[in-house]
């Protein structure tokens, strides 16, 4: 059994290859979501710290060993990093549980899978190939080369800090960029620990830097003139602020934002599987995931039976210490998020939704120190209710009836978001054809919450811009450059003024 240390660890920034204190000399407390007690102190970076981190990344990009390193060598460093992450998976998982309260079983699963991102993009590093186009002009050669963009700002959220950071780091580094990471102020410890592994793997100083703190730190990073690209995962409001700031300097941006994902259960579904998928889709991680299937669309003919099974299964979930193997649902990561979830539960009740399970704070032995919300199921929900349209980010699911496939598609797409969707059916025709009609970046059929380093991830509409993961994600961190090479004497362009030759000009002047 894991034993929590009572010592409070003071963390450091990581800039230009070394750990160092904040220039402000100030820290904020990081609370363990289960005990409520302080377990670490996180430095608040100053504007000067951010400037030094970005300049270190810029130096590493333009001069020194990283700038001169071959793609094959970069790939080997990423492979070495993957090995180190695998060796330190247990420690990294424990740090994340202390920070965000997710289940240790889930965090260990993530950490043991995490090396695959570094292996995959390490393998792609020397597969970035340009091309030669068929010449349209005699004696003119044209080729395309792909070059790294420069300094990348990677801003990650608190719910899955390292995984969502790796989605940015791995392709950015494989492409030859350098990175400044700004983790959430609620979950910085694991990223600061990972920074040491970059050093151990042999990455040159300045290639990866980590600055911590709140919104002002992120703002300084986004607005820094040497930052060329921003990769952000977080809430819609934060994404909008990043997008607006980046637009002023025409910086490249990718945004992975929120969701209000439909999980659609048809009458021909395997109900046992669908119930388990529905529970895992919204109650896993206490609902604190952007892809949560928080709108559960159930066909009218099976609605009552399905809800009965759903309630019976969900009410067996055990709340408690996320470090324990027998815990199914851990605490909410932060007090503000805890209060937001409780507020939405009251909003749903006021709107007329029927609470058939949970509906408030969970209390009892072993839950005294943390912020726990009981798994909550609402029925009688219409798609116009706030509980069906706004992201709760908690263990709350809204059950919405539908009669026909057409109605299900209409309800599913009737939202500002478009991150993910689930479909439960035994119909081969529906399984193949329905995903094309759903406005979502990821669609699972008879599954939910499956991700892969091979599979592009991102959203439609307010769920974001761009894609992470998969082989095409590396192009998000590259610039295409056209090179025209004239192999003949003379200027071959038809648009050049008809000037006399050099010899004619010399003769005329004499």
Q: Residue 239's pLDDT band (boundaries 50, 70, 90)?
A: very high
Measured CA to CA, the distance from residue 158 to residue 278 in angstroms comes to 23
User: Is 486 within a domain?
Assistant: no
User: Is 390 within a domain?
Assistant: yes
User: Is 503 within a domain?
Assistant: no
Q: What is the pLDDT of residues 447-457, one digit of tens each?
A: 999 999 999 99
Task: Match 């598609």 to its residue by tokens.
Answer: 409
Listed in sequence order, the residues at least 6 apart from 493 whose beta carbon sits closer than 8 Å to its beta carbon are none
Are 107 and 228 part of one and the same domain?
yes
Hey, is 210 helix, strand or coil? strand
Surface-to-core class of residue 132, CB atoms within 10 Å of its CB (0-12 exposed, 13-18 middle, 19+ buried): exposed
Measured CA to CA, the distance from residue 360 to residue 480 in angstroms comes to 53
Which of 434, 453, 472 lies at the terminal end of a domain, its last residue? Answer: 453
Residue 5's pLDDT is 78
Region 154-170: what's the mean pLDDT?
96
User: Is 197 within a domain?
Assistant: yes
Angle at 246 between CA 242 and CA 250, to 5 degrees: 160
User: Closest Cα to residue 35, out of 79, 74, 2?
Assistant: 2
Are 206 and 350 part of one and the same domain?
no
Hey, is 135 helix, strand or coil? coil
Are 130 and 196 part of one and the same domain?
yes
User: Residue 12 belongs to what H/E stretch?
Assistant: none
Residue 496 has pLDDT above 90, yes or no: no
Neighbours of 498 (CB within 10 A): 4
Measured CA to CA, the distance from residue 177 to residue 167 in angstroms comes to 14
Measured CA to CA, the distance from residue 254 to residue 467 in angstroms comes to 7
Are 392 and 350 part of one and the same domain?
yes
User: Is 495 within a domain?
Assistant: no
Listed in sequence order, the residues at least 6 apart from 413 whose beta carbon sits closer than 8 Å to its beta carbon are 437, 438, 439
Residue 507's pLDDT is 59
Measured CA to CA, the distance from residue 90 to residue 316 in angstroms comes to 28
Q: Residue 493's pLDDT band (boundaries 50, 70, 90)?
A: low
User: Is 3 within a domain?
Assistant: no
User: Closest Cα to residue 306, out of 345, 344, 349, 277?
Assistant: 277
Q: Specify the number of domains making up the chain.
A: 2
Residue 419's pLDDT is 98
Task: Match 């761009």 to its residue by tokens.
Answer: 466
Q: Residue 136's pLDDT band (boundaries 50, 70, 90)?
A: confident
Neighbours of 298 (CB within 10 A): 27
Are 253 and 320 part of one and the same domain?
no
Are 346 and 251 part of one and the same domain?
no
Are 182 and 291 part of one and the same domain?
no
Are 81 and 210 part of one and the same domain?
yes
Region 202-216: what's the mean pLDDT?
97
Residue 341 has pLDDT above 80, yes or no: yes
CATH number, position 230? 3.40.605.10
Q: Are 366 and 36 in contact (CB under 8 A)?
A: no
Residue 353's pLDDT is 98
Measured CA to CA, the distance from residue 158 to residue 289 in angstroms comes to 10
Region 173-182: what's the mean pLDDT?
98
Measured CA to CA, the distance from residue 302 to residue 266 in angstroms comes to 8
Are 106 and 133 part of one and the same domain?
yes
The CA distances from residue 15 to 37, 118, 152, 195, 341, in Å, are: 29, 21, 14, 9, 37
Residue 180 backbone phi and psi in degrees, to 5:
-115, 120
Q: What is the pLDDT of residues 309-324, one digit of tens each?
A: 999 999 999 999 999 9
User: Is 499 within a domain?
Assistant: no
Neighbours of 71 (CB within 10 A): 16
Q: What is the pLDDT of residues 243-289, one digit of tens each?
A: 999 999 999 999 999 999 999 999 999 999 999 999 999 998 999 99
The token pair that represents 105 in the structure block: 């079983």
Q: Residue 332's pLDDT band (boundaries 50, 70, 90)?
A: very high
Dihedral of alpha carbons 204, 205, 207, 210, sign: positive
Hey, is 2 helix, strand or coil? coil
Are 38 and 82 part of one and the same domain?
yes
Percent of the chain having pLDDT more than 70?
Answer: 96
Are 333 and 367 part of one and the same domain?
yes
Residue 468's pLDDT is 97
Q: What is the pLDDT of residues 379-434, one digit of tens each?
A: 999 999 999 999 999 999 999 999 999 999 999 999 999 999 999 999 999 999 99
Residue 4's pLDDT is 76
Residue 138's pLDDT is 87
Residue 65 has pLDDT above 90, yes or no: yes
Q: Are 394 and 332 in contact (CB under 8 A)?
A: yes
Angle at 229 between CA 175 and CA 59, to 5 degrees: 70
Active site residue 316: no
The one catalytic residue among 96, 228, 290, 476: 290
The one catalytic residue among 96, 256, 391, 468: 256
CATH number, position 295? 3.40.309.10
* Buried residues in 225-239 as b, exposed as e (16+ CB within 10 A): ebbbbbbbbbebebb
The whole domain housing 286 covers 262-453
Residue 424 backbone phi and psi in degrees, to 5:
-120, 115
User: Is 105 within a domain?
Assistant: yes
Measured CA to CA, the distance from residue 411 to residue 148 in angstroms comes to 42
Are 162 and 281 part of one and the same domain?
no
Active site residue 290: yes
């Amino acid at each position: 059994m894991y034993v929590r240390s009572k010592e409070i660890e003071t963390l450091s920034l990581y800039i230009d290859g070394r750990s160092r204190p904040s220039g402000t000399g100030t820290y904020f407390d990081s609370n363990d979501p289960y005990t409520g007690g302080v377990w670490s102190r996180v430095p608040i970076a100053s504007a000067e710290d951010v400037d030094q981190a970005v300049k270190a990344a810029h130096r590493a990009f333009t001069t020194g060993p990283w700038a001169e390193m071959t793609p094959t060598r970069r790939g080997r460093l990423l492979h070495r990093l993957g090995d180190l992450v695998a060796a330190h998976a247990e420690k990294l998982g424990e740090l994340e549980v202390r920070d965000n309260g997710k289940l240790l079983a889930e965090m260990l699963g993530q950490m043991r899978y995490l090396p695959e991102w570094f292996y995959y993009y390490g393998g792609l590093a020397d597969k970035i190939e340009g091309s030669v186009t068929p010449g349209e002009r005699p004696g003119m050669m044209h080729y395309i080369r792909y070059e790294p963009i420069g300094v990348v700002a990677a801003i990650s959220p608190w719910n899955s800090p390292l995984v969502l950071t790796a989605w940015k780091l791995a392709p950015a580094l494989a492409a030859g960029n350098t990175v400044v990471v700004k983790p959430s102020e609620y979950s910085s410890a694991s990223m600061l620990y990972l920074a040491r592994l970059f050093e151990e793997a042999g990455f040159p100083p300045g290639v990866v830097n980590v600055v911590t703190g709140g919104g002002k730190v992120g703002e300084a990073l986004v607005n820094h003139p040497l930052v060329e690209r921003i990769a952000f995962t977080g809430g819609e409001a934060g994404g909008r602020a990043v997008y607006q700031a980046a637009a002023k300097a025409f910086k490249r941006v990718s945004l992975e934002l929120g969701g209000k994902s439909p999980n659609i259960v048809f009458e021909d579904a395997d109900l046992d599987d669908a119930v388990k998928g529905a529970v895992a889709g919204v109650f896993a991680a206490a609902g604190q995931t952007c892809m949560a299937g928080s709108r559960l669309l159930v066909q009218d003919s099976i609605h009552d039976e399905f809800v009965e099974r759903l309630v019976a299964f969900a009410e067996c979930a055990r709340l408690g210490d996320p470090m324990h193997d027998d815990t199914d649902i851990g605490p909410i990561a932060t007090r503000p998020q805890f209060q937001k979830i409780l507020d939405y539960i009251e909003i749903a009740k006021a709107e007329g939704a029927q609470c058939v399970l949970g509906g408030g704070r969970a209390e009892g032995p072993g839950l005294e120190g943390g912020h726990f919300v009981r798994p909550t199921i609402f029925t009688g929900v219409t798609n116009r209710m706030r509980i069906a349209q706004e992201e709760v980010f908690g263990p709350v699911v809204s059950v919405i009836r539908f009669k026909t496939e057409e109605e299900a598609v209409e309800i599913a797409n009737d939202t500002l978001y478009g991150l993910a969707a689930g479909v439960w059916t035994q119909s081969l025709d529906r399984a193949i054809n329905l995903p094309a009609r759903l406005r979502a970046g990821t669609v699972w059929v008879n599954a939910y919450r499956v991700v892969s380093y091979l599979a592009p991830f991102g959203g439609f509409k307010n769920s974001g811009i761009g894609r992470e993961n998969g082989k095409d994600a590396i192009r998000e961190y590259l610039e295409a450059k056209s090179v025209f090479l004239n192999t003949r004497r003379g200027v071959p362009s038809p648009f050049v003024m008809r000037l006399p030759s050099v010899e004619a000009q010399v003769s005329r002047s004499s």
